[in-house]
Amino acid sequence: MLDLPARHARLASALPLDDALLVVGAGAPVPLPENTDQTYPFRAHSDYFYLTGLECPHGVVAYDPRDRAWHSFVPTVTEAERVWEGREQPPGEPLEQFAPWLAARPARRIAQLGAAVPGVVADAEFSAQTRAHFLHARRPKDAAELATLRRSAAATAAGYAALRAALRAGITERALQVELETGFFRAGAQRTGYGSIVAAGANAAVLHFAPGDRVAQAGDFVLVDAGGEIDRYVTDVTRTYVVGTPSPFQRDLYQVVLAAQQKACARCRPGAEWRDVHLACAVDLTAGLVAMGVMRGNPASLVEQEAHTLFFPHGLGHMVGLGVRDASGLLPGRPKDPRPCLRTLRMDLPLAPGYVVTVEPGLYFIPALLNDPARREQFRDCVNWNLADQHLGIGGVRIEDNLVITPGEPENLTAAIPKES
């Protein structure tokens, strides 16, 4: 059960408001472009949802540090909305009272979070600063959030079990997606957390591949990155399978990624800097490629040269929770690290108890990177290009778990989804 007063109290003490007002908008439904009376499915902004637990179009949360009172203003549900949508009146004060509330506090600086609220003139720079502190304050997940994430992980595990049962030569990516997502829903998921990735063969080298009509063939890698969502909380997990018997090269590549992923998970302890965990994993992956004969040189030196980005072009992971990549980003006040090899790192901060992070290293043979003449020249001595070219159609391997950071060993929420076959 949500403990909203505890959340409000934690945020009130964490936000640098001084005498400024806080206004958080839920957002408005977005009409479909066909001029019908239909809208895209409404989802309240996560800032608003975190404070209210409501999917309330046009809702507004307001806070004045002078009286330390939180207000939730909600629109009155119309008869038409009750008739056509079955909508019920959400708890809160009438939305009409927000304008007088604001007018009674003139000449006060305003931090605006969530979606824009009509009639509110906010301080953009101050709002950005407040947003960074707001995200940081809600990074540690409370007991209710962790309970929901465990339910989401269980539904996700059911979906992966259904996909594994259906995986065989001759099945399409789309058919595997249907089995996977049906498994999510049957186990309690309300929707998918994001667009499911099911990629066979060479498609497994496309980082965000949408499943299509490709038929999985014997010897293909099949990379699956998907998760269920329950009450807005998302599981984000990846597994990579082989249809039939893997080749020795496939087996070695998989074991390199698996070993690096397991080491990275073990490094997820309080105080560990995420970028250090990422770079250590990059060295482990590169060492594996050197052992396989794909890369040449000292692994740490290759990472310093950023040669590893030919095969590991993304960050190690991100936060997850109230939406995928929930509350990722920088530690408040920390500038963005300028190193090109970290430009895709979705967060840069020390880990702390209560954080939920994904750990998702991968190695891929991506033609767009490996066939680039500039990269071939830059890294001509770092790669066994003949061997790399032989495997350009192999796709790739990614393995991803969701970890809760604890005072000791992290809790793996997705441990029930097998990753060793």
Residues forming a β-bridge with 197: 225
Q: CB–CB of 379/306 below 8 Å?
A: no
pLDDT in tens, 310-336: 999 999 999 999 999 898 899 999 999
Average pLDDT over residues 303-307: 96
pLDDT of residue 112: 97
Q: Which helix (H) or strand (E) holds 131?
A: helix 124-137
| 36-57 residues labelled b (16+ CB within 10 A) or e (exposed) | eeeeeeeebbbbbbbbbbbebb
Question: Which residues are CB-contacts of 415 (< 8 A; sequence separation ≥ 6)?
Answer: 401
Average pLDDT over residues 363-367: 98
Q: CB–CB of 25/68 below 8 Å?
A: no
pLDDT in tens, 150-187: 999 999 999 999 999 999 999 999 999 999 999 999 99
Residue 421 reports pLDDT greater than 60: no
Q: CB–CB of 17/23 below 8 Å?
A: no
pLDDT of residue 38: 86
Q: CB–CB of 265/360 below 8 Å?
A: no
pLDDT in tens, 259-300: 999 999 999 999 999 999 999 999 999 999 999 999 999 999
Q: What are phi and psi of 47, to 5 degrees?
A: -60, -45
pLDDT of residue 334: 92
Q: CB–CB of 322/342 below 8 Å?
A: no
pLDDT in tens, 90-102: 999 999 999 999 9
Q: CB–CB of 288/278 below 8 Å?
A: no
Q: What are phi and psi of 398, to 5 degrees?
A: -135, 140
d(CA 67, CA 110): 15
Provide the CA 211 distance to its chain's centre, in angstroms: 19
d(CA 396, CA 415): 22
pLDDT of residue 319: 96
pLDDT of residue 1: 74
- The DSSP-derived string for 14-72 is HS--TT-EEEEE-----B-TTSSS-BPPP---HHHHHHH----TT-EEEEETTTTEEEE
Q: What is the dihedral of CA 277, 278, 282, 284, to 10 degrees?
A: 20
Tell me the pLDDT band of 340, cut-offs 50, 70 and 90: confident
Average pLDDT over residues 386-408: 97
Average pLDDT over residues 328-355: 91
Question: In this prediction, what percent of the chain has a pLDDT beyond 70?
Answer: 100
pLDDT of residue 410: 98
Q: CB–CB of 176/196 below 8 Å?
A: no
Q: Are strands 237-242 and 197-200 parallel, antiparallel or unpaired?
A: unpaired
Residue 375 reports pLDDT greater than 80: yes
Q: What are phi and psi of 194, to 5 degrees?
A: -170, 175
d(CA 304, CA 279): 9
d(CA 228, CA 153): 7
- Please give the mean pLDDT across all residues of the chain: 96
pLDDT in tens, 104-143: 999 999 999 999 999 999 999 999 999 999 999 999 999 9
Any alpha helices (H) in 267-340, and if so which ranges?
Answer: 274-292, 299-304
pLDDT in tens, 31-89: 999 877 888 999 999 999 999 999 999 999 999 999 999 999 999 999 998 998 899 99
pTM: 0.95
Residue 360 reports pLDDT greater than 90: yes
Provide the CA 234 distance to its chain's centre, in angstroms: 8
DSSP label at residue 307: G
